[in-house]
Amino acid sequence: IMSDVQDHQTERAKLRSELQISQGIIEGGARERRSLLGELAQLREEVREYREDGQDAWNELAESRSELERLQGIHTTRSGSAESDLYDRWVELASVQEALDQRTRAEKRLRSELSYMQRIQQSNA
């Protein structure tokens, strides 16, 4: 009987140890999930900001194009300073286009990271 009691106590201790290990794994997974959710929220916010910045850049580009068209109209009636103004606006327009291209690339990168984080989150769910 004592041997059975001792075997039972040993088995119970093993099960308790396995339970503690399992609980630790579950708690670690929950912490990792919370961390990933935080990163996902941050990435979503960054994507939103890049979209807003991209829209601002598009608006600025449209304004610059309108200004360029206006200056081209002036150029047909004037020379000299209008050419200089036109060139300056063209350079500015190219700069705005480059900024927009950079934002577009950054937004694509963030979308890719967001997708990756979502896949990780789904695989951990």
The pLDDT score that the predictor gives to residue 86 is 74
CA distance 100 to 94: 10
Which tens digit of pLDDT belongs to each residue from 52-102? 888 888 888 888 888 888 777 766 665 556 667 778 888 888 888 888 888
Please report the domains of the chain, with CATH numbers, ordered by start residue. Answer: 2-124 (1.10.287)
Secondary structure of 6-18 as H, E, C letters: HHHHHHHHHHHHH
The pLDDT score that the predictor gives to residue 79 is 58
Torsion of CA 63, 67, 73, 74, to 10 degrees: 160
Checking if the pLDDT of 40 tops 70, the result is yes
